[in-house]
Amino acid sequence: MIVRPLSLFLFLITLSCFNPTHETTKAVLVIHGGAGWISKESVSDSMEKKYTETLGEALIKGRAVIKQGGSSLDAVQLTIEHLEDSPLFNAGKGSVFTYNETNEMDSAIMDGASGSAGAASGITTIKNPIQVARAVLDHSVHVFLSGLGAEEFAIEQGLEEVDPSYFFTQKNYDRLKEVKVSTTMPTQEKLGTVGAVAIDKNGNLAAGTSTGGMTNKRYGRIGDVPVIGAGTYAENGVCGISATGHGEFFIRNVVAHDIAARIKYASHSIEKAAREVISELKEKGGAGGVIGLDSQGHVVMPFNTPGMFRGYISLDGSPVVAMYAED
């Protein structure tokens, strides 16, 4: 293994990168920052360091909630907020642009203990979209709110409102211009989304996901993230799953719930279920991956693209972060 001359923090994490050939690892929190055409050739050393450190910080923040006896829901929310606040990922601050040069974000969170869920789409002025999903779960009789109604509800709940310019990043705006010139939907790029799955000291699972969607999306397009059972799912005694990739395929194949169903009804391990579903998705033309934990805290992070920003942390261990298929 080649260790790049980065920080000591990155060096230690690189040494402990996830190897799927080993016995399935146990953790209390697993995260992703998007899958896609992520390779050592396309990510500079300086950017690799930034990605690694931000993912590691998110894991440490989320794990702190669990260590202090907090809920898996709170751990998932705090972890995702940290990733939403970074311009590195396609969620929150780093969200990509629509055809109309706006940023429209989707989010979801699910409680494995109660089966309750909250989801939101078309968010344009709330700083942390995952907070909208959590507010829907906690304070609404509904599951899924969209657009102006979702934002009105969020403001009533006291969530932080920002000017849409907060979400502007030059790299994402330039990417939109490139895609418009090509007149085709982007294919070989990072396929957006951040997500987290946690299990707390009471054995309760929770999963959450947040995204800026697809570059150049039109007509109010909504992906898999806020569709419970497609991009986000959690059920105590079974698993928690958060997905990232080409959302249309994850919706059609109800990917997150399909993994849970194979565990629940076919007695598959989470590793077998997740890897088979992602492999089958590739055969159907769907690119992406998932992260997950089962009720014993076993970690899975399969993907069918060249890379996926991902990581996990145990109750007392150091953050483990990886990016590339060979990690």
Q: 299-308, pLDDT tens digit by residue?
A: 999 999 999 9
Structure tokens at 122: 């078309």
Q: Are 298 and 271 in contact (CB under 8 A)?
A: yes
Other C-beta atoms lying within 10 Å of the C-beta of residue 255 = 30
Structural domain includes residue 6: no
Query: What CATH number corresponds to the domain at position 212?
Result: 3.60.20.30
Supply the pTM of this predicted model: 0.91
C-alpha closest to that of 126 among 160, 76, 78: 160
The residue type of 38 is I
| 219-273 per-position pLDDT tens digit | 999 999 999 999 999 999 999 999 999 999 999 999 999 999 999 999 999 999 9
The count of domains in the chain is 1
Strands of the sheet containing 288-294, edge to edge, are: 232-235, 239-245, 288-294, 299-300
The Cα 145–Cα 113 span in angstroms is: 22
Q: What is the DSSP letter of 108?
A: E
Q: Tell me which of 25, 54, 79, 193 is the catalytic residue.
A: 193
- Tell me whether residue 98 is one of the annotated catalytic residues: no
**Residue at 259 is within a domain:** yes
The answer to the question of residue 307 being in a domain is yes
Q: Is residue 120 one of the residues assigned to a domain?
A: yes
49: burial class by Cβ within 10 Å (0-12, 13-18, 19+)? middle
- 173 lies in a domain? yes
Helix, strand or coil for residue 160? coil
Would you say 302 and 319 are in contact if contact means Cβ atoms under 8 Å apart? no
Burial degree of 97 (CB within 10 A; 0-12, 13-18, 19+): buried
Angle between helices 270-283 and 255-266 (to 10 degrees): 140
Which residues, given as ranges, of the chain have pLDDT below 50? 1-22, 185-186
12 in any annotated domain: no
Domain residues for the domain of 310 are 27-324
Question: 152-174 burial, b for 16+ CB within 10 Å, e for fewer?
Answer: ebbeebebeeeeeeebebeebee
Q: Quick one: how far is CA 20 from the chain centroid?
A: 20
Say if 13 falls within a structural domain: no
Contact 319, 14 (CB under 8 A): no
For position 74, what pLDDT does the model report? 98
Query: What is the model's pLDDT at position 39?
Result: 83
pLDDT for the residue numbered 184: 54
Is there a domain that residue 122 lies in?
Answer: yes
